[in-house]
Amino acid sequence: MNEYRKIEVIVGVFVLIGVMSISWLALKLGQVGGLGQDGYELVAIFEDAGGVREGSDIMLAGVSIGQVKSVVLRNNKEAEMHFQINNGVKLATDATVAIRTKGLIGEKFVRVNQGFEEDYLAAGDEFEDTESAINIEDLISKYIFSGDAK
Amino acid sequence: MKAVTNFFGGFGRTVLHVIEKMGDATMYGVSTVALFFVPPWQGQHFIRQMYALGVGSMVIIIITGAFTGMVLALQGYHMLVKVGTESLLGPAVALSIIRELGPVLAALMFVGRAGSSITAEIGIMRVTEQMDSLEMMAVNPRSRVLLTRIIASALSLPLLVAIFDVVGLFAGYVIGVEMLGVNGGVYMGETIDKIDMVDISVGVTKSIYFGFLIGVICTFMGYRATATTEGVAKATTQAVMICSVMVLILDYIITSFYL
């Protein structure tokens, strides 16, 4: 029985190491269990979502302050985005949002420009001013046609 | 005419034989697993099998995991640095290990280390009539010898794969950051950013299926082995071969479901 007891202990340690590995993967890499999920929600209406998707970053001064929760079509013409902003981040009521690209061909993210008002946006509020994605094709065509006009 | 019928006859016979074997294995698997719900439970024998299969395979899994992570980081770095995206080294290594290489390589090593020993052991138990003597003592050999091994295999492989993943990621980090000079924060940050829970659950799901499959096939091959020395040798070789191929096929099927 003594030998069996030893086996039991070793198997226990083995299972513990395995379970710890799985939970490390899930918690650290998978970000499961709603870690970092708390915060408040803000709404922004864009003319053109320009490739921002659920899970895209929201940056203020280059620091990630939240994630895009959903992107849906509104009134058959505009994109309505719901942002999940981390608790503790306060945005002035006249803060603006713009869609930008990481690098030249990187992924899209939402950039927030802090405003100057004394009041802060509360959960469920809508951004006053939004700036849609800069479309490279639009820029090029604008450049070509402006060249024609001369 | 004779040659033609011989050719097609031989072909048909092989196909029928394979189908018969598959049916037999399925029936065997279902009826053995059903014994799980029939007491008495063989807890002690199950723990012993966890020790033999799980703990016994740990060293080989850790070595395989470490070198897999290292070679992925080394190879990936030299490819990514050409296009200036070595910041993606972390996610590249982590995704390959967690989604594909972890479950598959760990399963293949597990087949070699544990699967072959299951088949050989059960085969020899048949040769030496230990199965029959168990039955004589009113012990169901299926629930004591076979079921315990199937469950131990299905439970220990996911744990081994998780250990493989963690060791592989760590080894990749050491090579990528310490040796090749990728920024450590970027490496971990990008990895955490790019890996979703879906990737991890794909890996775990695969490993559970693989473990169960290896357990069923290896015990079946041993149980149905011809009760001679030669028969056991043949069954062991076949078990390892069938398991390895089935792991790769099943891997493709599960991956295609998750994309």
3-state secondary structure B175-240: HHHHHCCCCHHHHHHHHHHHCCHHHHHHHHHHHHHHHHHHHHHHHHHHHCCCCCHHHHHHHHHHHH
- Nearest partner of B108 among B11, B234, B248, B4, judged by Cα: B248
Look at residue A150 in the predicted model and tell me its pLDDT.
Answer: 47
| B186 in A contact zone (CB under 8 Å) | no
- A3 in a structural domain: yes
Point out the residue among A7, A15, A24 whose CB comes nearest to the CB of B166.
Answer: A24
User: Which residue from B203, B175, B103 is spatially nearest to A25, judged by alpha carbons?
Assistant: B203
Q: Rounded to whole angstroms, how far apart are CA atoms B220 and B236?
A: 11
> Are B163 and A11 in contact (CB < 8 Å)?
no
- Cβ contact A10–B51 (<8 Å): yes
Instruction: Tell me whether B51 touches chain A (CB under 8 Å).
Output: yes
End-to-end CA distance of chain A: 96
Examine the domain organization and report whether A12 and A26 are in the same domain. yes
A28 vs B contacts (CB less than 8 Å): 192
Q: Is B194 on the interface with A (CB under 8 A)?
A: no
Domain enclosing residue A110, as ranges: 39-140
Q: Do A17 and B163 touch (CB under 8 A)?
A: yes
DSSP element (H, E) containing A110? strand A108-113
Residue of B nearest to A28 (CA): B192
Residue of B65, B75, B95, B97 whose CA lies nearest to B192: B95
Does the predicted interface ipTM exceed a cut of 0.85?
no
CB interface of B with A, residues 133-172, below 8 Å: 156, 158-160, 162-163, 165-166
Q: What's the pLDDT score for residue B252?
A: 93
Spatial neighbors of B154 by CB under 8 A, at least 6 apart, are: B208, B211, B212, B215
Whether residues A26 and A71 share a domain: the answer is no
Nearest Cα residue to B152 out of B219, B85, B83, B252: B219
Judge if A62 and A95 occupy the same domain: yes
Q: Taking CB atoms and an 8 Å limit, are B197 and A26 in contact across chains?
A: yes
Quick check: is A104 in a domain? yes
Spatial distance between the Cα atoms of B247 and B257, rounded to a whole number of angstroms:
15
pLDDT score for B198: 84
DSSP H helix total and E strand total for chain B: 12, 0
List chain A residues with CB under 8 Å of B200.
22, 25-26, 29-30
Q: Which amino acid is at B152?
A: A
Kindly identify which residue of chain A lies nearest to residue B161, measuring between CA atoms.
A18
> Is A81 within a domain?
yes
C-alpha separations of B87 from A47, A63, B34, B167 in Å:
33, 18, 50, 21
Helix (H, G, I), strand (E, B) or coil at A26: helix
Give the pLDDT score at A148.
Answer: 56
Note the pLDDT of residue B250: 93
Is residue A150 in a domain?
Answer: no
Q: What tokens were used for B236?
A: 């062991």
Sequence spans of domains, chain B: 2-258
Residue bearing tokens 């980090």: B173
**In chain B, what residues touch A26 (CB-CB under 8 Å)?**
197, 200
| Residue B2: count of CB within 10 angstroms of its CB | 7
CB B190 within 8 A of CB B143: no
Coil, strand or helix: which one is A147? helix
Instruction: Specify the pTM.
Output: 0.74
Q: What is the pLDDT along chain A (150 residues), one digit of tens a residue?
A: 688 888 889 989 999 999 999 888 888 776 655 554 567 888 888 887 777 777 777 888 877 777 788 888 888 888 888 888 877 778 888 888 888 877 666 677 888 888 888 888 877 788 877 877 777 777 788 888 776 554
**Residue B233 is which amino acid?**
A
- Inter-helix orientation angle B197-223/B148-173, to 10°: 140
Angstrom distance (rounded) from CA B15 to CA B229: 27
SS3 B84: coil
A47 lies in the same domain as A111 = yes
Q: Please give the structure tokens belonging to residue A94.
A: 């006249």
CB within 8 Å of A116: residues ≥ 6 apart:
A92, A94
Q: A2 with A56, same domain?
A: no
Q: Is residue A60 part of a domain?
A: yes
What is the full per-residue pLDDT of chain B (259 aa) written as tens digits?
888 888 898 899 999 998 998 898 888 888 888 888 888 788 888 888 889 898 999 999 999 999 999 999 999 998 888 887 877 888 889 999 998 999 999 999 999 999 999 999 999 998 898 888 988 998 888 888 889 999 999 999 999 999 999 999 999 999 988 888 888 777 887 788 788 888 888 889 999 999 999 999 999 999 988 888 899 999 999 999 999 999 999 999 999 988 7
- CA triple B75-B77-B81, angle to 5 deg: 130
Asked if B127 and B202 count as a contact pair (C-beta separation under 8 A), the reply is no
Instruction: Pick the closest to residue B93 from B101, B81, B82 (CA basis).
Output: B101
Q: Into how many domains does chain A fold?
A: 2
Tell me, what DSSP letter sits at residue A142?
A: H
